[in-house]
Homo-oligomer: A and B are copies of this chain.
Amino acid sequence: MSRLDVTEKIITAKVMKGLKWADVAAKLNLSKEWVTAACLGQMTLNAEQAKIIAEIFDLSDEDQKWLMVTPCKGSLPTAVPTDPLIYRFYEMINVYGTTIKQLIHEEFGDGIMSAIDFKMDLQRVADPMGDRVNIVLNGKFLPYKQF
């Protein structure tokens, strides 16, 4: 699967050049969250975006074409993540998942919060007790319909 190869090239180039995702995102006029996901092989770029990314990371024309193909998504190597940072989010679902389900149903009725019509925003919040990470997940509510 060649998109994986392009992802590895991007990551290697980023490490070697000392680039920042926020700067890459700025060049595309898109959020750092979406652009990082795209560079990590989770999103599809259009021709213009693929060209910019290719320039930033010294990618070939072939690589550029792969960036424009919808990838096979899913960025984790195991069903339960082993990396401590990522695991904490899995744990949040394990501890608070049924809570989230109850509260969304209480507010909206039967349905789900979309993970497709979805956006995410991640910010540092200064705090004298130690700075905090603030992540906003925002997704459309999709109701189950009777038929």
Question: Measuring CB to CB, which residues of chain A are less than 8 angstroms from any residue of chain B?
Answer: 1-2, 8, 11-12, 15-16, 18, 20-22, 30-34, 36-37, 40, 42-44, 62, 65-66, 69-70, 72-76, 78-120, 122, 124-125, 127, 129-147
Protomer copies? 10
Known: A75-B95, A91-B84, A122-B104. A141 touches B146 (CB 8 A): no
If over half of A's interface residues share one DSSP class (helix, strand or loop), that class is named, otherwise mixed; here it is mixed
Of the candidates B90, B112, B144, the one whose C-beta lies within 8 Å of that of A43 is B144
Check B146 against A34 for contact (C-beta < 8 Å): yes
Of the candidates B125, B138, B142, the one whose C-beta lies within 8 Å of that of A125 is B138
Known: A30-B147, A100-B86, A106-B21. A137 touches B74 (CB 8 A): no
Complex-state Cα separation, A102 to B25, whole angstroms: 13
